[in-house]
Chain A
Amino acid sequence: MRVLLVEDNERLSSLMRGGLSRGGFTVDVFDLLEDAEAALDTVDYDLILLDLGLPDGDGMDWLKRFRRGSRDVPVLVVTARGGLTDRVAGLDTGADDYLVKPFEMDELLARCRAVLRRPGAALSTVLAAGNVTLDTTSRQVAVAGSQIDAPRRETDLLEVLLRRSGQVVPRAVLEERLYGFDDEVTPNALEAHVSRLRRRLSDAAADVTVHTVRGVGYLLRPAVAP
């Protein structure tokens, strides 16, 4: 994986380069947008890490121009402007994700991998959280390596939750993914599926569980040790 890093603070860019290299990325560092643009013309990068406040221009404006040129390289914006409105603006102008300074190396690596895993990028076929895995093509669920049987709806539910493991998935999103237009969805259908999946996971001694956030949705997270 080859990454283009545009960052004008030398110490920060060298630290980021070190961390990313240890994480398995090949990193080219530029401190000017002009130089980065020249590099993009000759090298096919898998990911761009972009700082916003650069000496020769604003990263956001550059990104807008870059996207207009119908380039679809994933872009992760790394910025000090952790403003509430910046986030929206960044995503509107074509950034795939947004990381506010300061950040830890683990987080940077996780975000880079997440951006690369997005649809359009390489498809990962096995989703995992804790000791639970799901093969998205064979639809097989396993806990600690041993396969368990789960009906289609529960497998679909687990897949959505696994894809956003650790985050709350709103009810509306789950209902939309799980039930077709023609399906009659009773108000408790989702609860019923969740509770069956929860029991199935705990019966198989899974170390993750489906947690309810009332009024919002569900999330998959490590089970609290009994």
Chain B
Amino acid sequence: MRMPSARPAQRPSVTRLITRRLILAAGLLMVAQVVLVAMHYGWDGRRLGVRVAANEAERIAGHIGIGPEGRPVLALPEEHVERYRDHRAAYAFRVVDADGAEVAGMNPDLFTVMLPEPATAPDLFWRVVPGPQGETRVLVQRFDRIAPGLLIAIAIASDPDRLAWVALLHEVVDHVAIPMVPLALLLLAVNVYAVRRSLLPLARAAGEAAVLDARRGGLRLSAGDDLPREVHALVGAVNAALGRADEVLRFQREFTANVAHELRTPLAVLLLQLDEIGGPAAEAAKSDIQAMSRLVDQLLRVAQIEGMSAEPPTDVDLAEVGRGVVQQLAPIALDRGRETEFRDQSASIIQGHRDAIAGAVRNLVDNALRAAPKGSLITVSAGPGPVIEVCDQGPGIDPALRRDLFDRFAQGDRRTRGSAGLGLAIVAKTMEIHDGSVTVADRPGGGTLFRLVFPDQGPFSEPP
């Protein structure tokens, strides 16, 4: 009855799914922002050109100091000089002081336009000069903060060092990454927290449902007022299904009682009537009725075990069960010329259904009584641990027949026809509701050994 539960590790949690989607959305948003920034500069070439040249001017300005005579001096590092030396037709610069004297400069040929006078120069001068090899961009910027009237002029005819891309990258970092990433992370964290919090009731309901044992009646998930509408609906639907399962269980129990009454009462009438008739024919018919009555018993028991599993389990002393069965069946065994004994090998006390377990052991002893030869011994032993064994000195069971030995109505042997096959099905069913197992093996020295193993801890132990 217990379904094998799906490994939770293989299924991502809702929180994880939502987190993943939020990260994706934030990523897409940032890409869109980058595209927007790029488009902004792409449409307006002037802006990017000014930005590139201004960056270059700033870099040169960083290396200008005031010399001993109080005049500005440029000490450009070697790696900086390289750009102008290697690309003479691409980049040029000039540094001019307030008197119009050149402080430093490289590749002055690129300046094909008149530069403004230091005295009258604006803060920023920008010209795009068309030429035979394309446009030359010229920028002149005042650096009064270094020396009053100091001008730095930059000319860019082409861009082999990809300064435009570097500038664009800086723009993206400055306008997209720095302001947006912390915001996105913060939003993500808040969202994940909110989602996780609002899914708590669902997680709780799922947790309750996971430990629910469908075989026990009267169980419901708690539908508190704090549940969100969707979870409330789900819990309601699960509870309705559990309610129907309870009804089925109750019907099954009543049905069993009714069927018992309908079947056994006429059998009782028949038996008593045959008692009155008497004679050998009546005796033969009586034994048929007894056999039929046994079959009815077994069938009812199959139905009953299901119902029984809905009752709460109790402490069951396996040694007491084994001893009880031997005590009950020993006189019958002696009537049939077989001996029985019980061995207590320190069995445990388990959580279960005493009557069902006793019924299973009784069935095994009953079968052994039929299978074992006259004068042989049937041993019921309990333990060590949560185990009960029944072994006989009979002919053993053909290994080919063992596989479906425990299926309902499967018959191991012609000699064990009738209620015996059903009896083994009852044993299997009983072990199933206890989450235990039944195995059959050859006994060393001949005979069959049936072994009932119960879980070490009660199968019904309440979760902490």
Query: Interface on A for B, CB 8 Å cutoff?
Result: 9, 11-12, 15-16, 18-19, 53, 80-85, 88, 100-106, 166-168, 170, 211, 213-217, 219, 221
Interface residues of B in 266-305 (CB under 8 A from A): 267-273, 275-276, 286, 289-290, 293, 297, 300-301, 304
Choose among A15, A100, A167 the residue that contacts B273 (Cβ–Cβ < 8 A): A15
CA distance A88 to B301 in the complex (A): 15
- The answer to whether B260 and A80 have CB atoms under 8 Å apart is yes
Verify if B308 is at the interface (C-beta below 8 Å from A): yes
14 residue pairs from A and B, CB less than 8 Å apart: A11-B269, A15-B276, A19-B276, A53-B257, A80-B268, A82-B264, A83-B300, A84-B301, A84-B308, A84-B358, A84-B359, A88-B355, A102-B272, A168-B328
- The answer to whether B341 and A103 have CB atoms under 8 Å apart is no
CA distance A28 to B330 in the complex (A): 37
- The answer to whether A105 and B272 have CB atoms under 8 Å apart is yes
Contact partners of B23 in chain A: CB under 8 A: none
Contact partners of A53 in chain B: CB under 8 A: 257-258, 261
CA distance A168 to B326 in the complex (A): 9
Cβ distance A39 to chain B, nearest Cβ, rounded Å: 22
- The answer to whether B270 and A102 have CB atoms under 8 Å apart is yes
CA distance A216 to B365 in the complex (A): 15
Cβ distance B317 to chain A, nearest Cβ, rounded Å: 13
- The answer to whether B263 and A211 have CB atoms under 8 Å apart is no
Shortest 8 CB-CB contacts between residues of A and residues of B: A215-B342, A84-B355, A214-B341, A80-B264, A102-B268, A15-B272, A101-B268, A102-B267
The residue in chain B whose Cβ has the minimal distance to the Cβ of A88 is B355
CA distance A219 to B335 in the complex (A): 12
Contact partners of B323 in chain A: CB under 8 A: 170, 215-216
Name the residue among A9, A12, A85, A216 with the largest chain B CB count within 10 angstroms: A216
Cβ distance B254 to chain A, nearest Cβ, rounded Å: 11
Having A85-B308, A100-B264, A105-B272, one finds 9 other A-B pairs with CB under 8 Å, namely A80-B262, A80-B265, A81-B257, A83-B257, A102-B268, A104-B271, A106-B275, A168-B326, A216-B330
- The answer to whether A81 and B273 have CB atoms under 8 Å apart is no
Given contacts A80-B261, A85-B308, whether A215 and B344 have CB atoms under 8 Å apart is yes
Contact partners of A213 in chain B: CB under 8 A: 326-327, 330, 340-342
- The answer to whether B330 and A15 have CB atoms under 8 Å apart is no
Choose among A18, A106, A217 the residue that contacts B276 (Cβ–Cβ < 8 A): A18
The residue in chain A whose Cβ has the minimal distance to the Cβ of B303 is A83
Q: Which secondary structure characterizes the binding site on chain A?
A: mixed
Q: Which secondary structure characterizes the binding site on chain B?
A: helix
Query: Interface on B for A, CB 8 Å cutoff?
Result: 256-258, 260-265, 267-273, 275-276, 286, 289-290, 293, 297, 300-301, 304, 308, 311, 323, 326-328, 330-331, 334, 340-344, 355-356, 358-359
CA distance A101 to B272 in the complex (A): 10
Given contacts A12-B269, A53-B257, A84-B358, whether A170 and B264 have CB atoms under 8 Å apart is no
Given contacts A85-B355, A168-B331, whether A102 and B326 have CB atoms under 8 Å apart is no
Contact partners of A19 in chain B: CB under 8 A: 272, 275-276
Contact partners of B308 in chain A: CB under 8 A: 84-85
The residue in chain B whose Cβ has the minimal distance to the Cβ of A16 is B272
- The answer to whether B334 and A211 have CB atoms under 8 Å apart is yes
CA distance A168 to B340 in the complex (A): 11
- The answer to whether B260 and A82 have CB atoms under 8 Å apart is yes
Cβ distance A224 to chain B, nearest Cβ, rounded Å: 8
Choose among A9, A82, A102, A221 the residue that contacts B331 (Cβ–Cβ < 8 A): A221
CA distance A214 to B333 in the complex (A): 13
Contact partners of B344 in chain A: CB under 8 A: 215
The residue in chain A whose Cβ has the minimal distance to the Cβ of B359 is A84
Contact partners of B356 in chain A: CB under 8 A: 84
- The answer to whether A101 and B264 have CB atoms under 8 Å apart is yes
CA distance A213 to B358 in the complex (A): 18
- The answer to whether A81 and B272 have CB atoms under 8 Å apart is no
The residue in chain A whose Cβ has the minimal distance to the Cβ of B362 is A84
Contact partners of A102 in chain B: CB under 8 A: 264, 267-268, 270-272, 289-290, 293
Name the residue among B265, B293, B340 with the largest chain A CB count within 10 angstroms: B265
- The answer to whether A83 and B304 have CB atoms under 8 Å apart is yes
The residue in chain A whose Cβ has the minimal distance to the Cβ of B296 is A82
- The answer to whether A214 and B342 have CB atoms under 8 Å apart is yes
CA distance A103 to B267 in the complex (A): 9
Contact partners of A9 in chain B: CB under 8 A: 265, 268-269
Choose among B263, B272, B326 the residue that contacts A215 (Cβ–Cβ < 8 A): B326
Cβ distance A11 to chain B, nearest Cβ, rounded Å: 5
CA distance A216 to B271 in the complex (A): 34
Contact partners of B343 in chain A: CB under 8 A: 214-215
Cβ distance A85 to chain B, nearest Cβ, rounded Å: 6
- The answer to whether A167 and B268 have CB atoms under 8 Å apart is no
Contact partners of A104 in chain B: CB under 8 A: 271-272, 275, 286
The residue in chain A whose Cβ has the minimal distance to the Cβ of B271 is A102
Cβ distance A100 to chain B, nearest Cβ, rounded Å: 7
The residue in chain A whose Cβ has the minimal distance to the Cβ of B355 is A84
Name the residue among B263, B264, B289 with the largest chain A CB count within 10 angstroms: B264
